[in-house]
Amino acid sequence: MLAKTFSASLWGVEARLIEVEVDISYGLPGFSLVGLPQGAVKESKERLRAAFKNAGFDFPDQKITVNLAPADLKKEGSGFDLPIAVGLLVTMRILPQERVSRFIFYGELSLDGKLKGVRGILPVALLAKERGLFLFCPFENAKEASLVKGLQIFTAEDLAQLVAILRGEGKPPQIPEDAEPETREYPDLSEIIGQEQAKRALEISAAGGHNVLLVGPPGSGKSMLAKRLPGLLPPLSYEEALETTRIYSVAGLLSGEHPVLWERPFRAPHHTVSDAGLIGGGNPPRPGEISLAHRGVLFLDELPEFRRNTLEALRQPLEEGQITVSRANMTITYPAKFTLIAAMNPCRCGHYGDKRKACQCTPQEVRRYRQKISGPLLDRIDIQIEVPAVEIKDLSQAPKGESSKTVAERVSKAREIQKKRFKKEGFLNAHMGNREINSFCQLGPQERAILEKAADKLNLSARAWHRVIKIARTIADLEGEKNIRTPHLLEALQYRLFDRPLW
């Protein structure tokens, strides 16, 4: 007898529909699994035998052939245990084929017949809704799948309960409502003494999604500033939360308590991170740090200490908001629309330009150290500012600055202006292309003359020219101005540190 069920295979952060065909025929007892199964999929036959026995079902003592179609697509993970088990139960006439055909099944079976949670259930849930099917998944994954609105989800604790539910003889367990998300406590901006220009740069970055490079001596507060950027950002919208949670679901990084990400991610990989760890890849491919920072912040401390080829891999995602990982047998695109904030010392010893301590580097050493960051990469970083060391006397005498809450309110208002302007969820000034710049960033004759003069003096590239205009547009939004004025443009030009000569 032949039975068919539906399942899914993860491909990047998407899920593809898989048809699971199970055939039982007379012949020597055996279990053949075809259709390019990999790793854990091949081991499913051993788990199925034990699960059937311990759940109270007789495992067929016949020739069993299972085909995972399409056969030319590699199948990874343990989520195929459940659809194969259901297919076997149909061939044994325990479950009706017409009832089973309305579901996508995805889950792992333990040896005692219990359904175990798997990674990547959210993309599978989105696929089920797209195809007009129901989803049957382990109880452990049900809360995560329920993020997809309008999808009917069924769940069970074990194989016996699954059979009772599909035969209409039992009720599925009630999916618990997601608990109130824990509000993450971020360090407050008011705790940083001085550094008013750097704080202003963070506000502009948060409002328009602009990338930032902080350059200063050790102990000047670069890392402290970077860690306060997430506290200035508004919470994720439903669509953004869905995008971000899907990436973490595929990577297997969601917690059982709160399987939905409502807070913007903040990722800070060490400078020893590999290329695959930063941009994604591996076998099987997984999202990298830049994708895990999607819709959030990626912090790269000690920027020149990262490997050159690793940093150069950031060019495409910084420009396009996604990364394409190509391998011999597959090409996968991961989303990577993040705000980059990087920190570095001005030279090898860290004290070039420091008033408190003399620099020990020669001009050639300073230049060589800075050249570790290539020009094309610097061109993609909108705001480049100096963070000087704070005088000791100012640490105790300087008044407290604005709190993160106050700044976040201005950021939120500026983002609302951009939402109305672009009519796209999550589209910010930093994401503008030439068409949007021409439409929304018109310069008057005086402003254009100033920018042309500055571009000639600083030798700005075409990309840097456009990025200065984008920053000016964000500054104008923060002040509620419809048009870009001269003060907005002059302030934007101050944030191009590496376009100025060293001496």
Residue 172 lies inside a defined structural domain of this protein: no
Full 3-state SS string of 131-149:
HCCEEEEEHHHHHHHCCCC
pTM: 0.92
**Count of domains observed in the chain:** 2
Q: Which amino acid is at 483?
A: N
The residue type at 83:
P
Whether 216 shows a pLDDT value over 80: the answer reads: yes
Residue 273, Cβ density class (10 Å: 0-12 exposed, 13-18 middle, ≥19 buried): middle
Average pLDDT over residues 59-64: 93
Residue 386 and residue 464 share a domain: yes
17 and 131 both lie in a single domain: yes
Q: What share of the chain is helix, strand, coil (3-state, %, to 5)?
A: 40, 15, 40
CA-derived radius of gyration, the chain:
28
Predicted confidence at residue 184, as pLDDT, reads 73
The Cα–Cα gap between 371 and 374 comes to: 6
Residues 66 and 211 placed together within one structural domain of the fold: no
Domain CATH for 144? 3.30.230.10
Residues in the chain: 503
pLDDT, mean of residues 447-466: 91
Residues 162 and 239 occupy one common structural domain: no
Contacting residues for 399 by C-beta, under 8 A, at least 6 apart = none
Q: Single out the residue in 135, 166, 197 at which a domain terminates.
A: 166
Q: Which two tokens stand for residue 73?
A: 């697509």
Whether 244 and 100 map to the same domain: the answer is: no
Domain co-membership, 140 together with 232: no
Residue 497: what are its φ and ψ, rounded to 5°?
-60, -45
- The model's pLDDT over 63-72, given as tens digits with 9 standing for 90+, comes to 999 999 999 8
Shared domain check, 239 and 193: yes
What is the mean predicted confidence (pLDDT) over 186-200? 91
279 and 348 co-located in one domain = yes
Please state the rounded mean pLDDT for residues 304-322: 93
| 361 and 482 share one domain | yes
Report if residue 396 sits inside a domain.
Answer: no
Residue-level pLDDT at 503: 43
pLDDT of residue 171: 84
The pLDDT value recorded for residue 181 is: 58
Q: Would you place residue 111 in the very low, low, confident or very high pLDDT band (cuts 50, 70, 90)?
A: very high
Full domain range(s) for residue 130: 2-166
- ∠ Cα 452 453 458 (to 5°): 100
Q: What is the pLDDT of residue 284?
A: 77
Q: Which of 111, 133, 166 is the last residue of a domain?
A: 166
Integer Cα distance of 119 and 116 in angstroms? 10
d(CA 143, CA 202): 35
Looking at the structure, tell me whether residues 114 and 252 fall in a common domain: no
* Edge-to-edge strands, sheet with 266-267: 266-267, 297-300, 339-344, 212-215, 383-386
Confidence of residue 178 (pLDDT cuts 50, 70, 90): low
Claim to verify: residue 242 and residue 371 sit in the same structural domain: yes
pLDDT digits (tens, 9 = 90+) for 124-169: 999 999 999 999 999 999 999 999 999 999 999 999 999 999 999 8
Domain boundary residue, one of 103, 132, 166: 166
Q: What's the CATH number where 348 sits?
A: 3.40.50.300
